[in-house]
Structure 1
Amino acid sequence: MSLCVRSISRDEHLAFVEGRPSVSHLQIPSWGDVKPDWRAGSLGWTDGAGVLVGAGLVLLRPLPRLRRYLAYLPEGPVVDWHAPDLAERWLTPMLAHLKERGAFSVKMGPPVVVRRWSADAVKAAVADPDLHRLGDVEPTSYEQGARDVADRLHRAGWRQAERGGEDGFAAGQPRHVFQVPFAGRSLDDVRSGLNQQWRRNIKKAENAGVKVVRGGAEDLPVFYGLYTETAERDRFVPRPLSYFQRMWSALNAERPDRMRLYLAHHDGEVLAAATMLTVGEHVWYSYGASTGRRREVQPNNAMQWRMMTDAYEQGAAVYDLRGITDTLDESDHLLGLLRFKAGTGGQAVEYLGEWDFPLDKLLHRALHLYLGRR
């Protein structure tokens, strides 16, 4: 029997999220407040007894000059992805509900892990000139059932989305991330898992007098100054300061300490800063920023270790460093970031990626033509 999909209140949605050990920070009610260019709503799946068994944050973006919407569920929804009747029981009623609300296309990101690579496997792959992408590397482990989920989606008419940016219609979240598992490990185990260079850099920062402190909303402009410097150095378009101020207000209003800010000081100057997000037992290093000055005192390693320590002490099961490149090409400027994250001794993780379902094929095709012109 299919489940019923209906709009639910923020309180219902939040209660469902907080009853689970891990839900993406992009699937909590307050994330909709961070995205003012989208119209946000909460969906709920209920069984025959009216019990809420699934939930999702949906973001609706209008097609220019039309009252039709792209419906986007980033890293969600939170449903039983491994159910054998996934399409019929869970996804078909969701599509019907969204079509009634004016959606012409639906994009979602199943939080389903496909493969994992250990830090040692990543390090060896980066050093091998014959390997060009992480996907070419034999994984350390496969997740059982991921291929079945992909097959069910294909059979139901879903298609894997092409990679895009995060703005406008080209919504997209990283398919490859780097995570440090904490569950079942002591903090000493986590520290021992850092590579030798990381441990040396943390010690160097301590000896140099680097101090990592938590900041508040009033420190966001300091973070932002470093962030814009980072954007220029790493060649990406920065978000405005108001985006981070909105994140701080919205996320911490929903749950105190949902978002934290860390600042690495040295000789009276802030050299690095980063934001950290927490939902249940999952903690994310969200945005990082640093100056090119005094890099020899290793503020980034010191800051990350403080964040990892705090995450561990608050009961995190995983520390998530978010997106990594899947290219192993030495000419790619993002390869250095992959090396940095691999130094934590965690795992490179591949998710199933984002999937599209065109409810109106003509408008869906027009959307892709519009994106192509942009």
Structure 2
Amino acid sequence: MTTHQDAARNAFPGPAARLRLRPVTEDEHLEFVRRRGPRAVSFLQSPSWARVKPGWSAESLGWFDDTGAMVGSALVLYRQLPGTRRSFAYLPEGPVLDWSTPDLDRWLEPLLDHLRGTGAFAVRMGPPLPYRRWSARTLKDAVAPGRRMGDVLPDLVDPLGAAVADRLREAGWRRGGEEGANGDAQPRLIFEIPVAGRGLDDLWTGLNQEWRRNVKKAAKAGVETAVAGLEEMAAFHELLGVTERRDGFRLGRDLAYYRRQYEVLNAERPGAMRLYTARHGGELLAAHTLLVSPDGSRVWYQTGASADHRREVRPSNALQWRMLCDAHVLGASVYDMRGVPDSLDPDARSFGLLRWKLGTGGEAVETLGEWELPLQGAVNKTLHRAMNAYLARR
């Protein structure tokens, strides 16, 4: 019998194999990420994501070994710098390759050569690797005025993530936020609930007492949860505006963005994006979006929206429990609640979001984050600085 470990070993070429990089079709790309093996591919590296992002051009790339087998993939987004013919290349939460190899250049040099050939003056990528992990218990015990997550000793430092960070830095890459690099576009700190090997009873007891009480309160009050369709997207977006005003943030995504995302992702893979709703007395009180990885092994809670009133019936807790249960039914290994703030200060406004997610009993994960590299030459470095300024303004 072939195990997940066998699949992982067979998914990538041996250390002596020569690799070629070339553009691939969306079908080739999708087939590869579907059979990727035990490590799920981010929805941001699904070929259809290119059609979600307006203002960016894109291409799918594949690495091939000596036998002609595709052994790695990348979705590259290109943003043209206004007033020039040059572009900035971006690989969100990618590429998909063998990051455990001691010779990353064997993978990255063909990619960099290709990007230079397209006229790209700089590249940003997000290696999909964990770096440090903190359990909910560790962070709850560390809550204190002025404290941040980085001040707390992690429960685990991932050796692969640490090694890849060292190799990238030695090769001239700069991590997001460091000198010469823009801040991360995707969250570096995320929150995960492990699902693999757990029953629903175990997931339920993993919730803290407050979460269990709120889910029960929602059920007793008659909150009804459902998987909705595109017809509810306008109502979701209206609630999102309420949430942004109440919580003091602005995503800047219009209704057309969410409609396009829903249509494009589900056209590629039915069920890839779902809209969940919670109603009380027939009134919509909360709506959340959920994304499913190409191989179904990871799900993401992407965006949540809720009303300002009737919050005492706890519609968002009911929705999260429904979504977590559905992730279990799908056979997902991880329920990813996406970004969390790093503040452990109980008086900080941002701490409320982290506190809410800590109640699920999961763990905070610092990923490797995003890394940038100018592509040779003083002119390209100047363009890189100009693009960073442009992206910061946006």
Q: Normalising by structure 2, what TM-score?
A: 0.90
Q: Please name the residue that 2:232 is paired with.
A: 219
Match of 1:143 in 2: 158
- CA deviations on 1:248-298 (whole Å, 9 max, x unpaired) are 100000000111111000012110000000012000001100011011001
Q: Does 1:37 align with 2:37?
A: no
How far apart, in 1, do the equivalents of 2:59 and 2:307 lie? 38
Q: Deviations over 1:152-181 (max 9, x none)?
A: 101111111228xxxxx9760000000000
Instruction: Work out whether residues 18 and 66 of structure 2, in 8 Å CA contact, stay in contact via their aligned partners in 1.
Output: no
Aligned partner of 1:166 in structure 2 is none
1:91 alignment partner, one of 108, 123, 128: 108
Whether contact under 8 Å (2:177, 2:184) holds in the other structure is: no
1:252 corresponds to which letter in structure 2?
N
CA deviation after TM superposition for structure 1 residue 71, in Å: 0.3
Residue by residue over 1:318-345, the C-alpha shift from the partner in whole angstroms, topping out at 9 and shown as x without a partner, is 1000000012233432210101111110
Alpha-carbon distance in 1 for matches of 2:355, 2:347: 14
Say whether 1:365 aligns with 2:385: yes
2:284 aligns with 270
Change (3 A) 1:208 1:71: same
Match of 1:321 among 325, 337, 346: 337
Q: Secondary structure at the match of 2:159?
A: coil
Match of 2:10 in 1: none
Q: 1:158 is aligned with what amino acid?
A: W
- Confirm or deny: 8 A CA contact 1:264 1:272 kept in the other structure: yes
Alignment of 1:291 onto 2:307: yes
Gaps of 5+ in 2: 1-16
Write the distance in 1 (CA, Å) between the matches of 2:231 and 2:65: 45
CA distance in 1, matches of 2:331, 2:264: 23
2:132 touches 2:157 (CA, 8 Å); kept in 1? yes
CA distance in 2, matches of 1:349, 1:155: 24
What code does the residue aligned with 1:157 have? G
Aligned residues of 2:172 and 2:373 also touching (Cα < 8 A): yes
Contact 2:176–2:183 (8 Å) recurs in 1: no
In structure 2, what is the Cα distance between the partners aligned to 1:59 and 1:331?
Answer: 39
Please identify, of 176-185 and 135-144, the stretch whose mean Cα deviation from structure 2 is larger: 135-144
Note the residue ranges of structure 1 that are not aligned, 5 or more in a row. Answer: 164-168
Q: Of residues 241, 244, 258 in structure 1, which corresponds to 2:258?
A: 244
Superposed counterparts of 1:1-374, under 5 Å = 2-20=18-36, 21=38, 22-86=40-104, 88-126=105-143, 128-129=144-145, 132-162=147-177, 172-237=185-250, 238-279=252-293, 280-359=296-375, 360-371=380-391
Contact 1:178 1:324 (8 Å CA) reproduced: yes
Distance 1:196 1:291 in 2: 24
1:33-80 Cα distance to aligned partner (Å, 9 max, x none): 100211011111111222110001110000011111110000000011
Distance 1:51 1:228, change over 3 A: same
**What is the alpha-carbon distance in structure 1 between the residues aligned to residue 391 and residue 367 of structure 2?**
24
Structure-1 separation of matches of 2:344 and 2:198: 30
Q: Decide whether the 8 Å contact of 1:2 with 1:90 is kept in 2.
A: no
Question: RMSD over aligned Cα, in angstroms?
Answer: 1.5
% same residue: 55
Gap change, CA 1:350 and 1:270, over 3 Å in 2: same
Following the alignment from structure 1 to structure 2, what is the Cα–Cα distance between the partners of residues 252 and 69? 29
8 Å contact from structure 1 (residues 2, 93) kept in 2: no
The letter of the residue matching 2:388 is H
Q: 1:318 to 1:369 in 2, by over 3 A?
A: closer
Provide the rounded CA distance (Å) in 2 between the counterparts of 1:207 and 1:319: 26
Q: Distance in 2 between matches of 1:371 and 1:202?
A: 41
Helix, strand or coil for the counterpart of 1:145?
A: helix
Contact 1:4 1:45 in 2 (8 A): yes
The change in CA–CA distance for 1:102 and 1:197 in structure 2 (over 3 A counts) is same
Instruction: Give the drift of 1:366.
Output: 2.6
SS of alignment partner, residue 147 of structure 1: helix
In 2, are the aligned partners of 1:61 and 1:70 still within 8 Å (CA)? yes
